[in-house]
Amino acid sequence: MKKAFLFDLDGVIVDTAKYHFLAWQKIAQALHINFIHEHNELLKGVSRVRSLDIILELGNVQVSQADKDKMLIQKNEDYLSYLVGMDESEILPGVFKILQLLKDKNQGIALGSASKNARPILEKTGIISYFDVIVDGNDVTNAKPDPEVFLKAAQLLNIDPKNSIVFEDSVAGIQAANIAEMVSVGIGEETILHEADFIFKDFTFIDETFIESLITK
Ligand code: BG6
Ligand code: MG
């Protein structure tokens, strides 16, 4: 049976969560907000606009909309500067193997990401051709945990949400998959992603037997 395999981008396909963190940290520092690694978990999967609001809430700081707009531009420029030299080596371990396996098994493959930078990242890393469908931050109005991004991806693949599987590294993304009644596969720590149906530390722990069990389920 043909299923929809939906992949988040940041922290699932590429190791960009660290760059988002560094760029947000600069914004926080300028505002004298203590923004540490643990706080970053709150921002994973969350849109750029919402991420800034979370940081401002953390520091109990209020700024004008005009200043927010400037900060959002500055954050993205800084983030993009980290991506200049990005290439295939930034693809997380095991990702290519799983994508190839799914292609060989004629499964639907889509990206479901909150990022507005998704396409250039997929191009730079040479992975874009694996995706039948790309839905990113430019295509949706509701951020995860709203399931819009995954429902849209499944719809474009013409596959029922119940026959869809989501790979996610964020709590918001796992919740989105669960709300959409899709199978949720957490990539990361069990303590954080415990709401997922399955959890793996990374893609190297996912084998053909597991993929086959999802296809035939
Ligand atoms: C998500 C990331 O994939 O995309 C978030 O987990 C990020 O950290 C969001 O804020 C939006 O990304 P971008 O590239 O549009 O700023
Ligand atoms: Mg992510």
Q: What is the pTM assigned to this prediction?
A: 0.95
Q: Give the active site residues.
A: 8, 10
Task: Report helix, strand or coil for 103.
Answer: helix
SS3 (DSSP) at 3? coil
Q: In 3D, which of 143, 195, 204, 133 has the Cα closest to residue 169?
A: 195
User: Ligand 1 pocket, 107 CB below 6 A?
Assistant: no
Q: How far is the CA of 175 from the centre of ligand 2 (A)?
A: 12
What is the ipTM for the molecules in this complex?
A: 0.98
- Per-residue pLDDT reduced to its tens digit, 131-189: 999 999 999 999 999 999 999 999 999 999 999 999 999 999 999 999 999 999 999 99
Q: How far does residue 13's CA lie from ligand 2's centre (Å)? A: 8
Nearest CA to ligand 1 atom 14: 115
